[in-house]
Amino acid sequence: MPAPRSIWRRLAGLAGWAVVAAGVALALAIAGPIALGDHPLTDLSGSMEPAISPGDVVIDEEIAPGEARVGDVVTFRDPEDQAKQLTHRVVSVRREGAHLWFVTKGDANNTREHWRVAADGQIGRVLYTVPWVGHVAVLARTPLGWALLVGVPLLLVAGEELVRIWRPRPRPPSGKEGDAVGGAG
């Protein structure tokens, strides 16, 4: 039967690999669409709850405004603050000349936005969301978050390597008598 210490070491190794696998899956879920031209955004407002919660990463595909349909969740420039982007559900859309007029509403909001976009412009349509990852992205932009997400893992890896270097290794059992290396035979 393996020693308890060995079992804990194996469990820790499995947990480490599970964390690595989860990290790779998250990276692929976010970086994969970026490589294909789609755009990740972090939702922090809660205006689309329960469909999209604060901290969810929203993966958008760029579409022509004419492709948007009532019920689609789209990302667009806030009509009141062009520096901000909103992600809300399309309530109605109508074409007027070279523009499309949208009415959108966050699922959790009481108010609607009325905005327009050139028919040959682009907006985003939500493909899917990755829950909670946005909290990590927001945290990573702070000095404390950077220290936690980069510094602590680096210190743990460095500590493990130092223990490996300085801890004496048990010597393998010596060979049987008569197994002399380099001796005459």
Asked if 79 and 114 count as a contact pair (C-beta separation under 8 A), the reply is yes
Q: Which of 45, 47, 92, 174 is catalytic?
A: 45
What is the tally of helices (H) and strands (E) in the chain? 4, 7
Question: What are 100's strand-pairing partners?
Answer: 95, 117
The Cα 76–Cα 116 span in angstroms is: 10
Instruction: Mark whether 45 is an active-site residue.
Output: yes
Concatenating the DSSP letter of every residue in 100-160 gives: EEEEEE-TT-S--EEEEEETTS-EEEEEEEETTHHHHHHHHTSHHHHIIIIIHHHHHHHHH
Q: Which residues are catalytic?
A: 45
